Chains A and B, each alone.
Chain A
Amino acid sequence: MRKISCLLMTAVLSIATSVFAAEGPIDGYADYEKFREQVQVLARSEWVTLRSLATTRGGREVYLLTVGRGKTDEKPAMLIVGGVHAPHLAGSELALRTISQLLRTQGTDKDAAALLERYTLYVIPRPSPDAGERFFEKPYAERTGNLRKTDDDRDGQVGEDPADDLNGDGWITMMRIEDAAGDYIPHPDDPRVMIKIDRKKKNERGRYRLLVEGRDNDGDEAHNEDGSAGVDFNRNFTFNYPYFKTGAGPNQVSEPETRAVADFAFSRPNIALVFSFTPEDNLFHVWKPDAGSEKKRIKTKILSADAPYVNYLAERYRKIHTGKDAPASPKGEGSFSEWAYFHYGRWSLAARGWWIPKVDPPKPAEGEKEKKLSDEKRGATELNALRWFAREKIDGFVDWKPIEHPDFPGAKVEVGGFKPLLRLNPPAKLLDDLAARHAKFLAATGKLMPVVAIKETQVESLGEGVFRLKVTVTNTGYLPTMPAMGKVSQQAYPLMLTLELPKGAKLITGTRRTALEPIAGGGTIEKTWLLRLSEDKSKNVKITVTAPAVGSTEKTIELK
């Protein structure tokens, strides 16, 4: 029976893979309609339950897939969120494909099977689907916001000056205006790349002003300052919230999308770990603790008690991922993954998943002289991206071409530069391999989670029906039963030890229900009670130790 269903499911999941295709800036990425089909196909699996946490302003659903069997809300869980930064649609793809991968392999891979058997995976692959859909909106740009009408420059008018596709190529790129007062010059090795001058240290003189492609539509002498960007899911959470900034929204957790995700998270004490696909990576660039800030009332750095655990997990991740030279993580203001740790109090792992790999400058062809390169450090990432585009035959750069610009009469204005989205999202053909690596990592992490066990019980009869009972509880896993931040944030639930006593028995010391302090991996905690049994009754005491995010264990002993 089990086998049959697995086979069936494999068939179902391969259908899921076959519909991965959509029009857009990059082939093979799923728009909302395709995404919805994929989610519904996945939901046919006996392992998956589908529900919507909210409907967006655009009428799209914030889907939650609950992956697991049995009473999923009563098992320890991981929350996996993709598409946190909407233009990083790869995050949404990876979340879904990672789950598909786990379901596909759980018949053969025992780590994957153990993960799904023991843990519930709550998966929100595309938490802000309206913003996600803007990936496909022409002209292409990296749009982060949902469909709320916002007045980004706070002037009382909404969306009066968006970017404009001046050259009509379907991409919002950049424009450079020849201007001796500008701050940019071309890179000495590749004039397509603009680098910023350093007046003070290098006594450089600028040649260009650099602006996003567009007109000053409202004549306020600022370009593209109000495209009514909407609210960014990844700028709308409570930690380090960017008040009054574009994308932040009217206040924290103001949107149907963020509220749905936060409300869901707060309603699930069984979530032990949050894994986000987002550019704010903390696996290649781990968060560093800081002794000074640790003492402050408002915590802004990972606690030093938690850092070694996250470092170890990150090390495992890097080995499985095998990537190198990961780009720096952007500053996360109001971000989801930081909220998950600092305010929600859970282990929070964040993965960019993919970036443009390092490509060496091409070797000169036979007989050709090696091109001498400058030692210019600025623009190195951009040069590398251009080399990678060339190698992969990706049309990722719009060559600078002059245009007539009404705002700069008489000046030389050119439009060009990197196409948006292509440096953030890999070609779709790479996604399945990346998903497999993330599935492997999640399965491996399943083996590192805390496991509570009753290590030892000691019963000592003091005579006359009086007993001393000692119970030793242990954590046989690697991670502690909650992060230190779980306790600081007062969000994680402690282990509760409950004694079920025979009728008529009375506790002399101790309580029937006892909250336990967190237990480190390999650590133990001891509790002692004095109790008295009444005669001629059952002498069995049942001990239960449980926490929603850790799991349960129980043992019945006889007092004699």
Chain B
Amino acid sequence: MIVLKLQFAVAGALLLITVGIDAVFADEPAPAESKIYQPAGAPADPKVSVHWNRYHDYSQSIRLLRQLAEAHPKICRLQTLGKSYGGRNMWVMTITDPTVGKESEKPAFWIDGGIHANEIQAVEVVLYTAWYLCESHGRNKLIDRLLKERTFYLMPMMSPDSRDAHMRRPNTTHSPRSGQRPVDDDRDGLVDEDGPDDLDGDGHITQMRIRDPNGRYKPHPDFPQLMIRCKDDEQGSYTLLGSEGVDNDDDGRVNEDGDGYYDPNRDWAYHWQPKSVQRGAHHYPFSVLENRMVADFIAAHPNIAGAQSYHNTGGMILYGPGVKGEKNQPADQAVYDAIAAKGEMMLPGYRKLNIANDLYEVYGGELDWLHGMQGVFGFTNELFTGFNFFRKGSPSREDQRRFNRYLLLGEGLVEWHEVEHPQYGKIEVGGLKKNWLRQPPSFLLEEECHRNMAFTLYHADQMPQVAVSDVQVKQLGGGLHEVTATVVNHKLTPTHSAHDVMHKITRPDLVSIAGKDLKVITALVSDDPLLRRAGEQKRNPGVVRLKTVRGMRAVYVRWLVKGAGPYTVTVNSVKGGVGSRIAK
């Protein structure tokens, strides 16, 4: 049946073979030409066809990026920042409409995923965003405008070696968080010598238990795979032995020195602290090779004004600072609040939270560096939330098992089964597989990608955008003119965060006036349309330096000049783009 239908579609010819089929289709109009029904959402007939209900490993991701770059050469470019410790390229895709403005002069948005490689859907969201931007160009007016106004830099895989390690080697949903450069975690002279061991060879690191009539654990009455603590007066049946593993180096400890360990998101330079203070910190900021390439790239692109980093899990829209006692400047916090509030609306089950005060303290996190040393507003989304199991509340451990039973049809678990442990003898292993819990299952992945992308595009649209909206010229007599320009930023985000202004991170916005035989006498600057409170810029008044142009506000610049028009007023902002206007 399906085969026959395909024949109709491909050949478009009616050649009915059997009487039975003849009878079935007798009343239907002939299908002249197959037409795609376009659902709301992503293009149904993209140039590059992708299944968004599956996960891509390193080479599949790269193939997809290459296909996109080939199919959309006018708007997208692929480059590598260098090679990871394991020799994988660190690919960055640049997407922008080059027919309008220069890539480096447009406000740019940075998107990265998978700095914690086990958090695998983070990469999918970035890939989806790249795909969606490319495929929607020319179809969706908002995307067309965004690509004209902004440059997007997308780094799908911040830790590509460990992504492949997660997918190919035995792991849990929580591993590996580290990169793959070997570290002697226990400083015993042996390196990465005692990681977890996949005792049953099923590719998942689960839990170990041993039958023990004096143990304090027992199977859950409804979900026997789940181990629970006995009541105070109840006899148990098992002792738990921790994660699947053996003491590989005979030091009495199990799994104490596995691959890595350093946490790539404790490696960024602002509020950095060593591992005695911050677990996972490596030697010094950007001593993690892959991060250094990214930091160098971002620092070399000061037009980056907004950023999004994808992680999992828990349904959070996180903003800095990551360190207690530090606080965002009120004006900056207002920006975070406004954007994150939209996110809460767009991402059901997600909450906006401050890292330090609402989650936990993080020294050397990426967001703190972006905001603290690069003047970039950034969010970290902790993708996926148990809310999605049954679209309500926060799920219990029983709800997880229920979701496994009724929606995963039991595929999310390894049932307890016996293995021979070289040190413990006969034990049992079993537990959750590595491929869900933190990650959405196939049928929830695409939605996760789309909603998060939509939030990020909203943020990207709200990056600053400067323009000269008006220039008024007044004759003062004696060849003297008063030229008043209105410089606006019709977006939510200022051209400089208050923190940026305080530490002079990004150079001031420059508003300049040019004209034939023009002599600029002086310049006045004010936030007030009537210039009732104005400051004077004595030095080099032809190029006025603005500390910032606030979001949804204007700055008024007035020059006293000698020389007739036309006057060209130009605004040039590192993070807010460029604009100009000519007045006679």
- Chain A: residues with Cβ within 8 Å of the partner, total of 41
Q: Is residue B284 contacting chain A, with contact meaning CB distance below 8 A?
A: yes
Contact A155 B504 (CB under 8 A): yes
Question: Which of B274, B287, B369 is most buried by chain A, counting CB atoms within 10 A of its CB?
Answer: B274
**Pick the contact of B273 from A243, A298, A488 — CB < 8 Å?**
A298
A262 contacts across to B, CB distance below 8 A: 283-284, 287
- Given A252-B285, A262-B283, A262-B284, are A269 and B187 neighbors across the interface (CB < 8 Å)? yes
- Which chain B positions have C-beta within 8 A of A511? 247, 250-252
B539 interfacial contact with A, CB 8 Å: yes
Q: Which residues of B contact A244 (CB under 8 A)?
A: 503-504
Closest to A511 in B: B252
Q: Say yes or no: A515 contacts B186, CB within 8 Å.
A: yes
Report which of B250, B270, B283 forms a contact with A243, defined as CB distance below 8 A.
B270
Task: Give Cα A250–Cα B369 distance, bound, in whole angstroms.
Answer: 11
A490 touches which one: B189, B250, B276 (CB < 8 A)?
A: B276
A-contact 0/1 string along B259-297, CB 8 Å cutoff: 000000000011011111100000111110000000100
Of all chain B residues, the one with the shortest Cβ separation from A512 is B250
Q: 1/0 contact trace for A483-497 toward B, CB 8 Å? A: 000001110111010
Asked, given contacts A243-B270, A262-B284, A266-B283, whether A513 binds B250 with beta carbons under 8 Å apart, the answer is yes
Contact B269 A251 (CB under 8 A): yes
The 8 A CB mask of A232-273 against B (1 = contact, 0 = none) is 000001100101100000111110000100110010010000
Tally B residues with Cβ within 8 Å of A.
34
Determine how close the nearest CB of chain B comes to the CB of A113; give it in whole angstroms.
Answer: 29
Residue from the set A220, A238, A262, A510 with the largest chain B CB neighbour count within 10 Å: A238
Residues on the A chain within 8 Å of B517, using CB: none
Q: Which residues of A contact B186 (CB under 8 A)?
A: 515
Q: Please report which residues of chain B, range 473-504, place their CB below 8 angstroms from some CB of chain A when the two chains form the complex.
A: 503-504
> In whole angstroms, how far apart are the Cα atoms of A262 and B508 in the complex?
35
A252 and B188 form a contact (CB under 8 A): no
B248 to A: closest C-beta gap in Å: 11
Q: Assess whether A85 is interfacial by the CB under 8 Å rule.
A: no
Query: Does A297 sit at the interface, judged by CB under 8 A?
Result: yes
Contact (Cβ within 8 A) B189 A493: yes
B189 & A238 in contact (Cβ 8 Å cutoff)? no
Most buried by B among A253, A299, A492, A548: A253
Q: Distance (Å) between the CB of A166 and the closest chain B CB?
A: 22
- B276 contacts A488, CB within 8 Å? yes
Judge if B299 is at the interface, Cβ distance under 8 Å: yes
- The yes or no answer to A154 lying at the interface (CB within 8 A) is yes
Contact in complex: B272, A252 (CB < 8 Å): yes
Q: Does A156 contact B (CB under 8 A)?
A: yes
- Residues in B with CB closer than 8 Å to A343 are 274
Instruction: Across the interface, name the chain B residue whose C-beta is closest to A548.
Output: B189
Closest beta carbon of chain B to A342's beta carbon, Å: 8
CA distance A427 to B295 in the complex (A): 45
Distance A250 CA – B292 CA, assembled complex (angstroms): 13
Instruction: Please name all residues of chain B whose beta carbon is closer than 8 Å to the beta carbon of A220 when the two chains form the complex.
Output: 539
- List the A side residues contacting B295 at CB < 8 Å: 251
**Cβ A496 vs Cβ B272 within 8 A:** no
- B540 surroundings in chain A (CB, below 8 A): 219
Return B289 CB to nearest CB of chain A, in Å.
11
In the complex, number of A-B residue pairs with CB atoms less than 8 Å apart: 90
In the assembled complex, the CB of B512 is this many whole angstroms from the nearest CB of chain A, namely 14
Q: Name the A residues within 8 Å of B249 (CB-CB).
A: 513
Is A263 a contact partner of B505 (Cβ separation < 8 A)? Answer: no
In angstroms, Cα B190 to Cα A513, docked, is 11
Please indicate the chain A residues that have their CB under 8 angstroms from the CB of B247 in the complex: 511
B72 contacts partner chain A, Cβ-Cβ < 8 Å: no
Q: From residue 501 to 531 of chain A, which have CB atoms closer than 8 A to chain B?
A: 510-515
Residue B71 is within 8 A (CB to CB) of chain A in the complex:
no
Q: Is the CB of B283 within 8 A of A154?
A: no
B187: which of A253, A494, A513 is its contact (CB, 8 Å)?
A: A494
Contacts of A259 in B (CB 8 A): 284
B296 to chain A, nearest CB (A): 10
Give chain B nearest CB distance to A228 CB in angstroms. Answer: 15
A238 to B363 Cα, complex, angstroms: 13
Q: Is A154's CB under 8 angstroms from B505's CB?
A: yes
The CA-CA distance from A316 to B285 in the complex, in Å, is 37
Taking a contact as CB atoms under 8 Å apart, the answer to whether B250 and A252 are in contact is no
| Inter-chain contact B508/A156, CB cutoff 8 Å | yes
CB-based contact A514/B270 at 8 Å = no
Distance (Å) between the CB of B300 and the closest chain A CB? 11
The contact of A297 among B251, B277, B369, B507, by CB within 8 Å, is B277
Which residue of chain A has the shortest Cβ distance to B283 in the bound complex?
A: A266
Inter-chain contact B285/A251, CB cutoff 8 Å: yes
Least CB distance from B358 to A in Å reads 20
Residues of A within 8 A of B507 (CB): 155-156
A492: which B residues are within 8 A, CB to CB?
187
Cα distance A488–B275 in the bound complex, in angstroms = 9
Cβ–Cβ contact A494 & B188, under 8 A: yes
Nearest CB in chain B to that of A238: its residue: B284
8 Å CB contacts to B: which residues of A257-292?
259, 262-263, 266, 269
B-side contacts of A297, CB under 8 Å: 277
- Is B373 an interface position by the 8 A CB rule? yes
Within 8 A of A (CB), among B212-246: none
Chain B residues near A513: list those with CB within 8 A: 188, 249-251
- B-side contacts of A238, CB under 8 Å: 272, 274, 284-285
* Complex CA–CA separation, A490 to B275 (angstroms): 7
Which listed residue, A156, A219, A266, A515, touches B188 by the CB 8 Å rule?
A515
| Partner among B252, B275, B285, B503 whose Cβ is within 8 Å of the Cβ of A514 | B252
CB-nearest residue of chain A to B287: A253
Q: Which residues of B contact A241 (CB under 8 A)?
A: 272
Name the A residues within 8 Å of B189 (CB-CB).
493, 496, 546, 548
Ranked nearest first, the 7 interchain pairs of A and B with the lowest CB-CB distance are: A156-B507, A251-B269, A154-B504, A511-B252, A512-B250, A253-B284, A513-B251
Interface residues of B (CB under 8 A from A): 186-189, 247, 249-252, 269-270, 272-277, 283-287, 295, 299, 369, 372-373, 503-505, 507-508, 539-540
The 29 sampled A-B contact pairs (Cβ below 8 Å) are: A154-B503, A154-B505, A155-B504, A219-B540, A221-B539, A238-B274, A238-B284, A244-B503, A251-B269, A252-B269, A253-B284, A254-B286, A259-B284, A262-B283, A262-B284, A263-B287, A298-B277, A489-B274, A489-B276, A490-B275, A490-B276, A492-B187, A493-B189, A496-B188, A510-B252, A511-B250, A511-B251, A511-B252, A513-B251
Residues of A that sit less than 8 Å from B by CB: 153-156, 219-221, 237-238, 241, 243-244, 250-254, 259, 262-263, 266, 269, 297-299, 343, 488-490, 492-494, 496, 510-515, 546, 548
